[in-house]
Amino acid sequence: MTLSSAEVGRLETAIGRITETALRLGLDPFPMRYEITPVDVLYTIGAYGMPTRFSHWSFGKAFYRMKMQYDLGLSKIYELVINTNPCYAFLLDTNTPVQNELIVAHVLGHSDFFKNNAYFGRTPRDMVDRMAAAADRIREYEREFGTDVVEAFLDAALAIQEHIDPSRFHAAACGKRVEDRRAGKRPGPYDDLWALDGDEVSGDEQEEALRSVMRRIKERADERRRRNRAEKDLLLFLMEHSPVLEDWQRDILTIIRQEMLYFWPQLETKMINEGWATFWHLRIMREFDLDPGASFEFAKLHAGVVAPSAVQINPYALGLAILEDIERRHGREALFEVREVECDQSLLRNYLTKEIVDRLDLYLYQRVGSEYRVVDKDWEAVRDRLITARNNGGFPYIVVADGNCEGRGELYLRHEFEGVELDLKYVEKTLPYVLALWGSPVHLETVVDGLRVLFTCQDDKVTRRFL
């Protein structure tokens, strides 16, 4: 369905009014760009994660799953918002005026969070353009090496894309180092790079500075390997040390890693981000004198957003409850401070209270025999389990313990067990991908039923033994 010019005009007026209200209430979002899109476009962007990403069959699978749920009335995406500057929001063309007004208020909250939260301060704001350029490079590799070859490599890379080290994402720290250098503070080992920004540097000097930095990077990587130091960033380790990867394959690993670093803050802040956007769409919409029909529709929509789930935590509801409690106890100024510095784990650790747990009726449950039962309703136990579940973005913490196991060039991975066992079927399907990326046998140490177990993948066959 295409909006008429009159409907577009009314939506533009509503956007202006809502934006003005958001600014008056204290929000500081990026400039906004709104697109009205049909359902197929919206779900394509949702499946790919961005409007300009490379092609892969797994994104198509995600699209058809989401589209099927939409067609069957099981779920519906009303909007998508992209962390860029300007910030892009995509609205479904079948939304009602009230739905669009709520969504505009909601995405303004997201945009404010993207702009002001410390965890997003390190993300590149031109990622749409970067992903478009990366997609072009991958298409060129497909033309040169064949679509099937490139797609098979993407299968392996995407299987382990979450195993990165976000602490290596140093854009903000680099900015501080530039200021330190300009202030005359002690130079660091890579200060040659800052000179490349100056107009006074010749081409030969630039090349020499880059060679110098690359030598030091290699020396540090070799030193880390010699010391057998555990390395969390599996993708980076493979990029640096795999003896079988070609240059185009290392480039694809670089693309996958950079994109995952961009998405990582969203994993760390899902609850507070959605809670923040919900908090503000509620308060912005309350500023308007809605007629009874629109008021009822808005109340119904908001109730659907914060409705509890029977099987999992609703991040909108829990995030909203915590933020409203912070405002009630500490004031609006404290709320903005929380928005700047907290992630989900710190929000839960610092601000989840017994009163909130009791009011939302949160509890722990697990399978006992053939059925699931509530096993604990103590609020501290609930809080601690929620915090633990957000460790490492919710993914297993796996490190490279040795890249030359017993001197045979084999890769030894270790699962830093934190009480939650690995999905063993996933382990057996993923290790062959790591084998393809490393080129030699791969081992993974973990814990199963309280016992240390070593999985070994060799010749695409996975075996296990107790240690």
Model confidence over 211-263: pLDDT tens digits? 676 666 666 666 555 445 689 999 999 999 999 999 999 999 999 999 999 99
409: left (phi over 0), alpha (psi -120 to 50) or beta: left
SS3 call for 195: helix
- pTM equals 0.83
SS3 call for 397: coil
User: Residues of the chain whose pLDDT is less than 50?
Assistant: 170-199, 226-227
- DSSP codes joined into one string, 408-433: TTEEEEEE---S----HHHHHHHHHH
Domain residue ranges in the chain: 5-117+280-305, 142-182+206-267, 309-391, 396-466
What are residue 373's DSSP bridge partners? Answer: 366
Neighbours of 209 (CB within 10 A): 18
Half-sphere exposure of 357 (CA within 13 A, CB side): 19
pLDDT at 225: 53
236 and 108 Cβ atoms separated by less than 8 Å: no
pLDDT at 214: 65
User: pLDDT digit string (tens) for 47-60?
Assistant: 888 888 988 888 88
